[in-house]
Amino acid sequence: NAGVTQTPKFRVLKTGQSMTLLCAQDMNHEYMYWYRQDPGMGLRLIHYSVGEGTTAKGEVPDGYNVSRLKKQNFLLGLESAAPSQTSVYFCASSYFLGLAGGPSSYNEQFFGPGTRLTVL
Amino acid sequence: KQEVTQIPAALSVPEGENLVLNCSFTDSAIYNLQWFRQDPGKGLTSLLLIQSSQREQTSGRLNASLDKSSGRSTLYIAASQPGDSATYLCAGITNAGKSTFGDGTTLTVKP
């Protein structure tokens, strides 16, 4: 299993350009997440999805859109990139959280390697 | 709104020492508490997951505890090694699937 993969690994954009970050997981997880990590700010949740066709806002959703058309993929879009969106973006996935009492490894979040984005 | 705080922000210890990292959260309605390790320039690696019905989890030299009533979790590392040097993050996850991370504790273990 590849686990959680992210494409691309690095990207440099100019202000106003658009791009899409792709996250893919092969663990049949229901839940998927997009975070950004900035120095001194920790990891902040941008958007998340509790299943195919669903999305929900996290802590810092402005300037981003997401789609979950297939269970294994979660896309993060920047329609008009701004320098404030320079960051490292992480995708994560986990099993459905409703199954209390499951194995100890249930509901763990598994992370991708990250995408380093610079907006000039 | 859930807030997660990790103390200390940085810690330096000699090799072989036992140590405790602290994580506190404001909303006791968390579903899971997960500890991660992050090496510089890398992604997050899951270390331990404690579900709300559990009080602790152990993996090798690591032991994590959870006390929901006091809003605290601790990560205990026994017999620390230079390879343990990394940033350790905790995250509280609600049953709605939302997660809140602390800012992390950067650990340096000196040979």
**Alpha-carbon gap: B36 to the closest alpha carbon of chain A (Å):** 10
Report, as an integer, the average pLDDT of A16-34: 95
Residue-level pLDDT at A104: 45
What is the share, in percent, of chain B residues with pLDDT greater than 90?
68
| Confidence grade of residue B101 (pLDDT, cut at 50, 70, 90) | very high
Chain B positions touching A100 (Cβ under 8 A) are: 51-53
The answer to whether residue B15 scores a pLDDT higher than 60 is yes
A83: burial class by Cβ within 10 Å (0-12, 13-18, 19+)?
A: exposed
Residues of B in contact with A35 (CB under 8 A): 101
Q: Is the peptide bond before A83 cis (omega within 30 degrees of 0)?
A: no
For A57, list phi and psi in degrees, rounded to 5. -80, 145
User: In sequence order, which residues have a C-beta less than 8 Å from that of residue A106 and are 6 or more positions away?
Assistant: A95, A99, B49, B51
Q: Would you place residue A21 in the very low, low, confident or very high pLDDT band (cuts 50, 70, 90)?
A: very high
Q: What is the mean pLDDT of residues A65-79?
A: 96
- Whether the pLDDT of residue A89 is over 90: the answer is yes
Q: Give the chain B residue nearest A99 (alpha carbons).
A: B95
Query: Mean pLDDT of all residues in chain A?
Result: 90
- The single residue listed with the structure tokens 């709605």 is B96
- pLDDT at position A3 is 92
Say yes or no: B62 contacts chain A, CB-CB below 8 A.
no
pLDDT at B41: 86
Number of residues written out for chain B:
111
Q: Is the pLDDT of residue A48 over 90?
A: yes
The rounded distance, in Å, linking the Cα atoms of B42 and B101 is 17
Residue A114 has pLDDT above 60, yes or no: yes
